[in-house]
Chains A and B, each alone.
Chain A
Amino acid sequence: MKRLKDRMEYRPLVSLLAILLLCGIISGGSFFKISVVDGHLYGRLLDILRNGSRYMILAVGMTMVLATGGTDISVGSVMAISGALACSIVDQRILLGLNGNVFAAVVLALGIGAVCGAWNGFLVAKLKVQPIVATLILMTAGRGIAQLIADGKIVTVTSDTYYHISGGYIAGLPVPMYIAALMLVLALLLTKKTAFGLAVESIGVNADSARLAGIAVEKNLWLIYVFCGVCAALAGLIESAGIKGADCNNCGLMIEMDGILAVAIGGTSLSGGRFSFVSSIIGALVVQTITTMILAFGVAPEVIRVFKALIVIVVCLAQSPAFMSKLRGALDKKMWWRKDEKEVQD
């Protein structure tokens, strides 16, 4: 068992706790208040878990993709597609034979997510197109496809069953939380209990040597992008269920950036290799906590983007070895007293 401090989850966890603590202090404790209404738990913390579930699910899929040294910038568009498809089916606009069956809609939406992922995987794994460029195609086209599915309208649904995907409760806790937990467990099982995890990591470190070592790089990459597509579709379902409708223009707009941000805060190297799903989930919670905090304290929501940008700057710089060594050099120069210590030691 590694020491807590050496684990990847340590740093993001500390920052999450620090931010939560800050929230608690500013709000005088009311941030942590959890009350029971109608047998459900209510409170800011629950809000964070519920609203953050989209980020968490995306972060799980994105972690795997980033761990292979790739990127998937099409997740926002895939969310829009899955939301549009599911809402259109539930509202009986297309595929009337299904009679608006919610279960069938969900399955089909996840299926289309898998298809989108397979397309990305085909470009990346088979044709060896750079991941950014490959997923750029779907990012550009995806919203258009969603619009075509929804026939250019904002599709609203009245089905309560569908709404429960986002707004429901099981044993007092919001449903999206369970979905996020399920995806996390699935991802952990896949990577820890099978050789798949090793394959992901070795592809990220060096795809060529992975191939030479006998890892089926193409097949694994393909699987990874499909998984990411399914995660995105799931997030799209939650988002569209939350607003009881599919807004193709805005569903998941720029969310790929938040997903990458969550993974980056979690400490997964963006150039591939080491990864941890739990870290990324914590990263997603950090992103959501910051958003909730800004909204809860009545700071203008316009500032959120600038604020997030500043955080990513700090995270990026902290991850850059070149910057850290420069910083260390500058500090060494400034901290004359440490020099003295060194001289004394010498």
Chain B
Amino acid sequence: MKKKFKIDNISLLIAVVLLVAMYVAGAKMYERFGSLSTILNLFNDNAYLIVVAVGMTFVLLTGGIDISVASTLAFTGVFSAYLLEKGWPAGIVIPLVLVLGILVGCVQGYAIHTFQIAPFLVTLVGQFFMRGMCEVISTVSIPIDNGFYKNAALKKLSFVLPSGGRPKLYYYVFVSLFVVLAAWYVLRYTRFGRAVYAVGSNEQSAQYMGLNVKAVKIGVYGISGFCAALGGVLFSFYTLAGYSLQNMGLELDAISSAVIGGTLLTGGVGTVIGSLVGVLIQGIIQTIVTYQNLNTWWTKVTFAGILCFFILIQRFAAIRADKKKKG
């Protein structure tokens, strides 16, 4: 049977086409762009963002929004750097910050569901609070000098290509790829995943169907918090430092990646694979801007343009779907 394309599929399809087109265009324009290392570096440099975007996708699927992720990520970085400096072993610090991330997320989810406050506001408070806690711990950048972290930062798979390039893939990238796969599996094949889509499509019907809406909502914010904290750990592998002003505005990157990947902000439609594609598109814009030797701000402007384009596609698709329903 031929499968019909739905709104999310069309959007995702366009995103994939755009990604490939940009890569091909880049490879045509610059000699070294077309190599394997460009692709692998996309993953090396965006591993943390991929994880955060996956967590964000869960929240967006329920029709919510989580703008506290960047602060949680920064807090994880600063707090773990602080603890490691005090001589705590990595084996305790990493689980501790991950649990903290889950806790922060769950508390926000609880407030959103129980007190019926807008998710935007609750997570705004979370954002303020976590960023503030970073500054309370330290306003200066704390270097990480821990053996495990250094290992994680440097260990990589190196390939030697006959053409002479030496592309490399850091081991921590596998963590983020694993997260993507796990999230994909959870959303597609588990009861919880289907409940997430159901709550996003229509919260009231989900409630009437007997789904535990409260658990789902607290769950998705918990997942988002976990992913933000994990992103923080990956980011501290990447930079080997914790700094309170790290990644200002990352939540918007994560949200836009999800939108470009076909996730509807009204909830109920979207995939984590789409969010992965969204992150990669952002990464490839960054790469092209670097190759072109432009002001890095062009990345933001271009990306916002693309985001706008995808929002418009979604809008028109939704309007058409509405008309079909009525007609």
Contacts and interface: CB of A to CB of B under 8 A. Distances in A.
A71 B201 CA distance: 23
A309 B120 contact: no
A43 interface: no
A131 B229 CA distance: 28
A307 B312 contact: no
B265 A130 contact: yes
Given A143-B297, A148-B297, A271 B118 contact: yes
B25 interface: no
Nearest to B136: A302
Interface string A312-333: 1100110111110010000000
Given A317-B115, A320-B116, A320-B117, A141 B301 contact: yes
B228 interface: no
A148 B301 contact: yes
B295 A257 contact: no
Contact of B315 (A129, A305, A310): A129
B174 interface: no
A152 B297 contact: yes
B295 A152 contact: yes
A118 to B, nearest CB: 15
B120 A312 contact: no
Interface in B91-136: 114-118, 120-122, 124-129, 131-133, 135-136
A320 B115 contact: yes
A127 interface: yes
B95 to A, nearest CB: 25
Q: How large is the interface on B (under 10, 10 to 19, 20 to 34, 35 or more residues)?
A: 35 or more
Interface in A87-142: 123, 127-130, 132-134, 136-141
A140 B135 contact: no
Interface in B45-75: 65
Given A133-B311, A316-B121, A302 B297 contact: no
Contacts of A282: none
B89 interface: no
Contacts of B135: 302-303, 305-306
Q: How large is the interface on A (under 10, 10 to 19, 20 to 34, 35 or more residues)?
A: 35 or more
B305 interface: yes
B116 A128 contact: no
B311 A306 contact: no
A253 B249 CA distance: 10
B132 A144 contact: no
Contact of A139 (B122, B139, B252, B297): B252
Interface in A205-244: none
A287 to B, nearest CB: 12
Contacts of B122: 316
A147 interface: yes
A147 B295 contact: yes
Contacts, number: 119
Nearest to B133: A306
A9 B149 CA distance: 54
A129 B298 CA distance: 24
A310 B120 CA distance: 16
B204 to A, nearest CB: 16
Contact of B307 (A137, A143, A144, A305): A137
Nearest to B307: A137
A13 interface: no
A73 to B, nearest CB: 9
Interface in B241-272: 248-249, 252, 255-256, 259, 265-266
A263 B135 CA distance: 26
A308 interface: yes
A272 B230 CA distance: 36
A145 interface: yes
A132 B65 contact: yes
Nearest to A320: B115
B300 interface: yes
Contact of A305 (B65, B132, B304): B132
A291 to B, nearest CB: 13
A143 B255 contact: no
B303 interface: yes
Given A306-B133, A306-B136, A312-B124, A140 B307 contact: yes
A304 interface: yes
B308 interface: yes
Nearest to A146: B297
A140 B115 contact: no
A270 interface: yes
Nearest to B135: A302
Nearest to B124: A257
B213 to A, nearest CB: 14
A33 B308 CA distance: 51
A313 B124 CA distance: 10
Interface string B282-324: 0000000000000101111101110110011001000000000
Q: Which of A148, A152, A308, A320 has the most CB of B within 10 A?
A: A320
A140 B132 contact: no
A137 B128 contact: no
A288 B251 CA distance: 26
Contacts of B312: 127
Given A260-B124, A264-B121, A308-B128, 20 more contacts: A133-B311, A134-B311, A136-B252, A136-B256, A137-B304, A141-B304, A143-B300, A144-B304, A148-B295, A253-B248, A254-B248, A271-B118, A302-B136, A302-B139, A303-B136, A307-B132, A313-B125, A316-B117, A316-B121, A323-B114
9 nearest CB pairs, A to B: A305-B132, A141-B304, A306-B132, A309-B128, A302-B135, A309-B129, A144-B300, A144-B297, A144-B301
10 contacts: A133-B265, A133-B311, A137-B307, A140-B252, A140-B300, A260-B121, A306-B136, A309-B129, A312-B121, A326-B115
